Structure 1
């Protein structure tokens, strides 16, 4: 029996995945994608990433709207949840799915673990009182034409929107006017300051400071590593994911040539961040409103037993 790290998806599953992300818009998607990979592997990788993050939401609804309040990141489980059921998933759901898709399409790819920085949350930009939490994120390292790229479809609001070449300080556009980059540097918490990692950073405009989102190394992680990380992230009582429900999805511009907005459901509001501003588009008065908002803004249709699973939890809107 193949291990989880060696598992691949069948051609039928790949076709269903491509339908899920609506890419490309031709009759036989899989044959088309395989042909474009042969011609332009990096461009196709970028298109797959953009289609994924604009179609499959980042979120943790399974920890709140379910009877089990758990998350399984096995390849079959994430396929069932994100593709068949068309629900959301957090970093390890989404990146496990893309990892096995890319392997099945012939890419050279492996996953590694990352540490999220508190600057990625609501930490004040002025104080810079930020720090890195324990390992809890997944990043994919994809090799194309002898060069390594970081690919991530599981970071949500401030996540990268295209593959990032592992190159120090080479800014590129994100959601306008935001920019993103990688730097190769040490962490303030390290005793040995000669040790360096890749650090993914974002700035909201060219006049604002660069803010660290997460760090990662180039060391390959195994499925059993992510099992431990996933258990802590989804089950530890102090984990933010167990206390708050959040869901985000990137949005294309009108011509679908670039990502220019992100829709965020958090707390009792739905906001759209675009062009340097964030606007509330819906206020949720109760949990019924949120269930409807998940369907309206994210295409997620929960079953009744899932809806009932949130009753009595701190995340319930009463």
Structure 2
């Protein structure tokens, strides 16, 4: 059996500091505190870690635009260096890839699977269609029950573990809700095939919109290597054309997600409890570089900044 990558206790301690984990004891290390919480309330510990990761590690694709190589590495050490040590952003398979190894290292029974993003999420058209496999979802098993965990979907991503149960509904970011349904999709030939569909809606009066679909079959690192290459290198991929950065905003106690800060196009916006405001309009690359540092604590090196010159995503 191939060995599964894990992080050392020192690396886990640094990760927990990165996500501003709050220990329940004063004498134990952060890692020891998490282990104690897992023993008494594994689901609560998982939900807390997911929420803190979302609020601390930005979701974005900066390395495809601000680098000299314009590639994405899923190597566990590269993920750790980039998002923990450098405090940079990461897109789907980076954020979830890092969180996957952290959870495994802490002792959770967890595996990854692949998902298809809907046209509703990718193109704003709810036609029942989906893109090819391009999203990573984590499945965590606690006391025999499976939970979907996601820290890499961006604006409409899940903010808490969702049990793999038909119609399992929860508050995503009040007043927005999220749920899982098990249905067939339009492009399936055999309509008896049912898969999980993650849906969201803005409030109780809105229509449910599909975000992505997935099954609970385990995907392997070599599967994500192919997916990552397609998403990060295909000319038609949205990620290679447009730069974006997003981070969730927690409440004062860190107990729930109440909003998000988004940099997209020439604007930085903040939405809290359903109310949106424009924080800054970006006119130049210098504006965007300073805004990344100000709003997302992402600090780029000179060589990385030079990497966007000549790309379609450069602000001119």
Q: With structure 1 as the length reference, what TM-score do the two structures score?
A: 0.96
In the comparison of the two structures, how many residue pairs are matched? 313
Find out whether 1:314 has 2:312 as its counterpart: yes
1:243 alignment partner, one of 238, 241, 244:
241
The structural deviation recorded for 1:277 is 3.3
Equivalence for 1:142 = 140
The runs of 4+ residues in structure 1 deviating greater than 3 Å are none
The structural deviation recorded for 1:163 is 0.3
The structural deviation recorded for 1:279 is 1.9
Deviation digits for residues 157-182 of structure 1 (CA, Å, limit 9, x no counterpart):
11000000001112110111000000
Task: Determine if contact 1:200/1:212 at 8 Å carries over to the other structure.
Answer: yes
The structural deviation recorded for 1:121 is 3.7
How do residues 57-76 of structure 1 correspond to structure 2 at under 5 angstroms?
Answer: 57-76=58-77
Find out whether 1:234 has 2:235 as its counterpart: no
Task: Say what the alpha-carbon RMSD is for the aligned residues.
Answer: 1.3
Distance in 1 (alpha carbons) for counterparts of 2:183 and 2:276:
31
The structural deviation recorded for 1:203 is 0.2
Task: Determine if contact 2:111/2:218 at 8 Å carries over to the other structure.
Answer: yes
Distance in 1 (alpha carbons) for counterparts of 2:215 and 2:275:
33
How do residues 50-61 of structure 1 correspond to structure 2 at under 5 angstroms?
Answer: 50-61=51-62
Deviation digits for residues 28-72 of structure 1 (CA, Å, limit 9, x no counterpart):
211111111111100000000000000000000000000000000
The structural deviation recorded for 1:130 is 4.6
Equivalence for 2:109 = 108
Distance in 2 (alpha carbons) for counterparts of 1:208 and 1:238:
31
Distance in 2 (alpha carbons) for counterparts of 1:296 and 1:2:
42
For structure 1, the 5+ residue unaligned runs are: none
Deviation digits for residues 250-279 of structure 1 (CA, Å, limit 9, x no counterpart):
001233221100111001101112222322
Distance in 2 (alpha carbons) for counterparts of 1:122 and 1:253:
31
Distance in 2 (alpha carbons) for counterparts of 1:275 and 1:40:
28
Task: Tell me which moved more, 114-123 or 51-60.
Answer: 114-123
Distance in 1 (alpha carbons) for counterparts of 2:104 and 2:113:
15
Distance in 2 (alpha carbons) for counterparts of 1:78 and 1:259:
24
Q: With structure 2 as the length reference, what TM-score do the two structures score?
A: 0.96
Equivalence for 2:218 = 220
Task: Determine if contact 2:93/2:152 at 8 Å carries over to the other structure.
Answer: yes
Distance in 2 (alpha carbons) for counterparts of 1:121 and 1:215:
13
